Structure formats: C-alpha cells, structure tokens
C-alpha cells in the first residue's frame, strides 16, 4: 500500500517541475520518503527556488572567455567599420576647384547634431552649382586633414616668428 497522499504529490509538483506520473513514480520508488526525493531532486538540479548546482571555476572561466570574445568581435567590427568611414570622403567641387574634402563622419555628425544647418548648407551647395562626390581613399582622410592643419600651424608659426624677428631687428 502506498504511504503517500495526493497532498504529497502536489507538494512535489510545487517544489519541482514534475508531472503527476513522475511525482508518483518517485514517491513509489522511495516509499513516500519525501526527504530522499528532495535530496535526489536537488542533486539533479530540478528543485524550484532552491540552490542550483554551483558553477565550477572552469565553467565560469569558459563563460567569461566567451563574453570576452563577443566583446572583442564587436570591437573589431566597429573599428573596421569606423576606419572605412574615415577612408570615405565627401568632396565638394565648384567647376574644377575643390572647395572642401572631409571625412564622411563629419557631415554625418553635423547632420545628427544640427539637422537644419546641414540641410541649409546642402541646399546652398546645390544652388551655387557645386558638385558633391563621395570617394574612397587608401589612407584615412583624417590624416590629410591633420597634415593640412599641421602645415597651416607651421606657416602661422613661421609668420609670427618672422614678425617678432623683424621687431627685434628694429
């Protein structure tokens, strides 16, 4: 004769994700010994709300390694895409003269930050008969800008130094 009641079956079902047949089979196998069943369920990690089996150090390390790989992959893809953006330039020409050459990142940022101003500049560019072209270069356009700014700074420095040298001569 079974040494368990319907309440015992319901209790097991509430403690673990078990169907009626599974709960009855476990109660039969353990002769209604609820403690033995709960210990067995805990070892199998089937208890609800109870402690799940603890992760081992190797499991945590593997999970951390996978997370680092996901971050690294995202970072690498982001870096590669950003470098492509820096190698893409927006060139504005009027007749044969190049008015401006900037990395495409700058007009995109301007569009996001100052939409009305960007649209007004685009309209003005078209009204003046300028042509806008997007080109790819081997090296980032930002390098060209940096070189241009460096040359301009050197020129200003030379002019200022020559002005002070002229004053010292007087």
Tell me the per-residue pLDDT of 74-108, one tens digit each, with 9 for 90 and over: 778 888 888 888 788 888 998 888 888 888 888 89
Say yes or no: 92 and 145 in one domain: yes
Say yes or no: 53 and 88 in one domain: no
Say yes or no: 57 and 88 in one domain: no
- What whole-number distance in Å separates Cα of residue 118 and Cα of residue 129? 17
Say yes or no: 104 and 165 in one domain: yes
- Of residues 52 and 68, more confidently modeled: 68
Say yes or no: 114 and 156 in one domain: yes
Report how many domains make up the chain.
2
> What was the pLDDT predicted at 63?
84
* Contact in structure between 90 and 101 (CB atoms under 8 Å): yes
Does the residue 42 lie in any domain? Answer: yes
> What was the pLDDT predicted at 75?
78
Range of the domain at 57: 1-69
150, pLDDT greater than 60: yes
Say yes or no: 163 and 87 in one domain: yes
Say yes or no: 87 and 164 in one domain: yes
pTM: 0.41
Q: Taking the CA atoms of the chain, what radius of gyration do you get in angstroms? A: 36
Interval 33-66: pLDDT, tens: 888 888 888 888 788 765 555 567 777 788 888 8
Say yes or no: 133 and 101 in one domain: yes
Structure tokens of 6?
Answer: 């319907």
Q: Strand 131-136 relative to strand 97-103: parallel, antiparallel, unpaired?
A: unpaired
């Amino acid at each position: 004769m079974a040494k368990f009641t319907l309440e015992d079956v319901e209790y097991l079902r509430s403690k673990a994700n078990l169907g009626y047949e599974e709960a009855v089979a476990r109660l039969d196998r353990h002769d209604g010994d609820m403690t033995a069943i709960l210990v067995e369920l805990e070892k199998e990690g089937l208890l609800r709300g109870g402690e799940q089996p603890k992760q081992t150090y190797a499991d945590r390390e593997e999970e951390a390694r996978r997370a680092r790989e996901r971050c690294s992959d995202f970072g690498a893809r982001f870096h590669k895409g950003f470098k492509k953006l820096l190698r893409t330039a927006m060139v504005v020409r009027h007749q044969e003269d190049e008015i401006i050459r900037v990395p495409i990142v700058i007009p995109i940022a301007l569009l996001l930050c100052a939409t009305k101003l960007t649209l007004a500049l685009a309209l003005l560019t078209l009204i003046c008969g300028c042509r806008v072209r997007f080109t790819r270069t081997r090296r980032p356009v930002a390098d060209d800008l940096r070189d241009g700014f460096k040359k301009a700074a050197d020129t200003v420095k030379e002019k200022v130094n020559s002005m002070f040298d002229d004053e010292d001569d007087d």
